[in-house]
Amino acid sequence: MPGPSDPAGASQLDVAGELLTLLRDHTTEPRGDTQLEALTLAVAADLPVLLWGEPGIGKTAALTQLARSLDLPLTTVIASVHEPSDFSGLPVVGADPAEEGIPMAPPDWAMRLVRAGRGLLFLDELSTAPPAVQAALLRLVLERRIGALRLPPGVRIVAAANPRSSAADGWELSAPLANRFVHLHWAHDPETVVRGLGGTWPRATLPRLDAEKLPQAVDFARRAVCGLLSARPGLVHRLPGNETRRGGAWPSPRSWETAVCMVAFATAAGSSREVLSLLVRGAVGDGPGLELMASLDRMDLPDPETLLADPSGAALPERGDLRQAVLDGVVQAVRNRPEKSRWDAAWALLVRAVETGAPDLVVVPANTLAALRRDDWDVPQSIDRLAGAVTLSQRADHAAERADHAAKRAAERRAGVTARPGR
């Protein structure tokens, strides 16, 4: 039987090594992946990202692939197996501590990043790090400092965590640390997994920013966030009362600044609405993030005065909620400056809305517009083209109300019959 030093045994290990190499070999392809696009955009914006997901979901593999695709050296640090001093710096006594002080020496992995000048720092298993280590990580994540050392601008920070329920001896993330991250909930896509196991993974690429759009992108982002917070000042800072929710995304001046950055980058890159939604909700939380997305949608709506100037050529939004907002804005514009020509133009616009979309959306604007009529204003002929649609919609509403009322009465009768035997 061959021993450990037998050439035959060694050759079999070499063959096994070749097989392992073939198994690890894979290719990449350009393919739309909303999660990966959101992650890559946040990395380009130099914002710390925290990937949440169940164990085995592919967070570490995604980061490894990202580093390889972006040609960045990957440095992995398991937060839970380090002491606080590993992130705040180790005290080193010099020749004359009374005069020179005691400097805080950074760990070797930080020195490697500085020597490389660039890289991807991956803080893994963040939810298993005890509170003392989480506190030490605050300065690293926000200021990029370890002791007296500052990481170079070419270093990006991405972390990963499991929910406390599935983490090994897990802790809730502290609110100060959680508020420094863009939180992305990582989920597996079966098709991506199947193609990846077959040897082809999606390729991560940095977003292409349009240099000519940069000033407009910054102005758009600032107007969007400032406009929302001016209308909803309660969203400026809202610390969750629940400990678990404090460990996620929530609104604060710091996270709103992150949202401004994300909107500007997504605008300059021409990113999809889905990607931007993931990022802003990952910065300020689901509720405030969805309000910001709705505010962004309204900023893209056409000016009511432009529509009133040329109702026949008006391009109305396809989405029902946005179309309703446009029609309401037009009626409000007529209310603010009531003139016969503007009133007629608004009716022509409602006709166009009926011809190009759902008729029920014009019912409320039509009734409001009718109430704005002055005694000396003739009724435009275009109203006749709305009458059928409005009447049909109102009949449908009345039918639904009658059906609901009948169902309630039937339920009450059944309840009465059931209750009698128990008297």
- pLDDT value at residue 10: 66
Phi-psi region of 320 (alpha: psi -120 to 50; beta: other; left: phi over 0): alpha
Please tell me the distance from the alpha carbon of residue 344 to that of residue 352, in angstroms, as a whole number: 13
- pLDDT value at residue 394: 42
Are both 153 and 234 inside the same structural domain? no
Residue after which a domain boundary falls, among 277, 299, 321: 299
Please tell me the distance from the alpha carbon of residue 160 to that of residue 186, in angstroms, as a whole number: 9
Confidence of residue 388 (pLDDT cuts 50, 70, 90): low
- pLDDT value at residue 234: 92
**Is the pTM for the entire model greater than 0.85?**
no
- pLDDT value at residue 408: 66
CATH of the domain at 53: 3.40.50.300
How would DSSP label each residue in 362-417?
GHHHHHHHHHT--TTPPPPTTHHHHHHHHHHHHHHHHHHHHHHHHHHHHHHHHHHH
Are both 82 and 228 inside the same structural domain? no
Are both 51 and 144 inside the same structural domain? yes
Please tell me the distance from the alpha carbon of residue 230 to that of residue 232, in angstroms, as a whole number: 6
| Domain residue limits at 176 | 30-92+102-202
The 10s digit of each residue's pLDDT in 245-282 is: 899 999 999 999 999 999 999 999 999 999 999 999 99
Are both 195 and 46 inside the same structural domain? yes
74: phi then psi, degrees, rounded to nearest 5:
-100, 125
Asked whether residue 249 is assigned to any structural domain, the reply reads yes
Asked whether residue 395 is assigned to any structural domain, the reply reads yes
Asked whether residue 5 is assigned to any structural domain, the reply reads no
Please tell me the distance from the alpha carbon of residue 105 to that of residue 85, in angstroms, as a whole number: 9
Are both 403 and 286 inside the same structural domain? no
Which is more confidently placed, 15 or 93? 15
Most confident of the ranges 166-175, 200-209, 378-387: 200-209
What percentage of the chain reaches a pLDDT higher than 90?
Answer: 34
Residue after which a domain boundary falls, among 299, 332, 352: 299
Asked whether residue 133 is assigned to any structural domain, the reply reads yes
CA angle in degrees (0–180, nearest 5) for 301-306-310:
120
Asked whether residue 16 is assigned to any structural domain, the reply reads no
Question: Above 50 in pLDDT, residue 423?
Answer: no
Helices 253-269/214-231 angle, 10° precision: 140
CB within 8 Å of 383: residues ≥ 6 apart: 347
Are both 51 and 198 inside the same structural domain? yes
Supply the mean pLDDT for the chain. 83
Are both 84 and 195 inside the same structural domain? yes
Are both 293 and 308 inside the same structural domain? no
What percentage of the chain reaches a pLDDT higher than 70?
Answer: 83
Most confident of the ranges 37-46, 313-322, 412-421: 37-46
Confidence of residue 401 (pLDDT cuts 50, 70, 90): low
Please tell me the distance from the alpha carbon of residue 84 to that of residue 313, in angstroms, as a whole number: 65
- pLDDT value at residue 413: 64
Asked whether residue 420 is assigned to any structural domain, the reply reads no
Asked whether residue 1 is assigned to any structural domain, the reply reads no
Number of domains in the chain: 3
Are both 74 and 87 inside the same structural domain? yes
The 10s digit of each residue's pLDDT in 309-345 is: 888 888 888 888 888 888 888 899 999 999 999 988 9
Are both 218 and 285 inside the same structural domain? yes
Give the residue-averaged pLDDT of 14-30: 87
Asked whether residue 418 is assigned to any structural domain, the reply reads no
Are both 256 and 315 inside the same structural domain? no
Residue after which a domain boundary falls, among 143, 175, 202: 202
Are both 378 and 347 inside the same structural domain? yes
- pLDDT value at residue 250: 96
